[in-house]
Copies of this chain bind each other. A is one copy, B any other.
Amino acid sequence: MSTWVPGADGSLFDVDNLPYGVFSRPGEEPRVGVRIGDFVVDLAPIAAAEMLDVHHVFQERSLNPLMAEGRQVRESVRRWVTGLLTDETERDLVEPSLLPLADLTMHLPVEVADYVDFYASLDHATNVGRIFRPDGEALLPNWRHLPVGYHGRAGTVVPSGTPVVRPRGQRPGPEGPTYGASRRLDIEAELGFVVGVGSTIGTPVSYDAFADHVFGVVGLNDWSARDIQAWEYVPLGPFLGKSFATSISHWVTPVEALSAAWVDLPGQEPEPLPYLGPGATQGLDIDVEVALNGEVVSRPPYRSMYWSPAQMLAHLTVNGASLRTGDLYGSGTISGPEPDQRGSFLEIGWGADGTFLEDGDEVVLRYTAPGTGGGRIALGQVIGRVEPART
């Protein structure tokens, strides 16, 4: 399909993409927009003019009310927006609300309810196991039976571009822990899945209800202080080594935009238990790029992930835990089998000192996927610059 919006056709943000975000203009309240090319469509006035029954959701300062409307509304809104941007006769209606992205401030797109982070890459889990337990089995016994995950801090999920202050805390040392700034500040290049429609406590969500509950996908950087984490994490898991910041992209790519990106998982052995849907093992063919200070240092392939997005959702709720609009779950670090496909500096430098982030370093995560029209689309990028620890 072709759009009348200048410069959008053939770009990574053409009409096959259409991610949602929350923007503001100087002196105005944040509200919902959709990206096309280098523009944002201000949806609220158009939806009001066209008397859409859900027009109020576009005036909100997060995507949560739109997401809570559910899959049918999500699909209808996408068809409506696609019509606006492809039909030349809509141009007079839309053009006054077509805002240059460069003039806007972008905000956290989602009011995050609960944040869960998984550990779904076989290569990442194997690498980390070899680095931390060189004499033991790289993978722990449970790893191939369930998507290992844990809860992170929802209140410190920040939008791309937010500076990341180097955390202080307890670092291990030969004579006991010392207090100070982390010396092993790292990233984890991940995908995040955003829940639109909640569920009832006590009732699991089946893997085949993935697209009924998940609204879309964000880029995600799970900043990690490896020294703090290594000392604190037994026996209850990562806490302060992660909770200082998790960055997500400004843009949420709806599930429909990724319909050409589904691929079979590389394979699961042993076959998962039935609730993990042995027949529902579709991964996503998304290319990730990790850039440090402008230089690409790694290209992790999301298609190499072991556990599927639908399996992670089914596992998260198998115990009856309910979902809420705004829940976010991360894939865990995306690492491929090759050395230039690793999604953390811990793995890139194989645990050596001197491979972690310095103050002033800037990390950019970029993501592209096959679009429905044969070209490629971009997911939102995730940018973060390291600021010195505060005294």
Residues of A within 8 A of B (CB): 113-114, 116, 119, 140, 142, 145-146, 148-156, 158, 165, 167-170, 176-179, 201-204, 225, 228, 231-241, 243-245, 270, 273-275, 315-316, 318-324, 327, 387, 390
**CB-based contact A235/B233 at 8 Å:** yes
Alpha-carbon distance A116/B242, docked complex (angstroms): 13
Q: Does B146 contact A177, Cβ atoms closer than 8 Å? A: yes
**Integer count of this chain's copies in the complex:** 2
Q: Which of chain B's residues have a CB closer than 8 A to the CB of A237?
A: 150, 233, 235-238
Nearest-CB distance from A125 to chain B (Å)?
Answer: 9
In the complex, besides A148-B232, A179-B273, A244-B321, 9 extra interface pairs with C-beta distance below 8 angstroms are: A116-B239, A119-B236, A142-B231, A150-B150, A150-B238, A151-B151, A236-B237, A245-B320, A320-B390
Distance A151 CA – B146 CA, assembled complex (angstroms): 20
Closest A-B pairs by Cβ, 9 of them: A237-B237, A167-B319, A165-B202, A150-B236, A151-B151, A240-B319, A236-B237, A244-B319, A243-B321
- Give A150 to B149 CA distance when docked, in angstroms: 12
B156 near A322 with CB under 8 A, answer yes
Contact assessment for A203 and B390 in the assembled complex, using a CB-CB cutoff below 8 Å: yes
Q: What is the bound-complex CA distance between A241 and B319, given in angstroms?
A: 8
- Which residues of the other chain, B, contact A148 by a CB distance below 8 angstroms? 232, 235-236, 239
CB distance from A173 to the nearest CB of B (A): 11
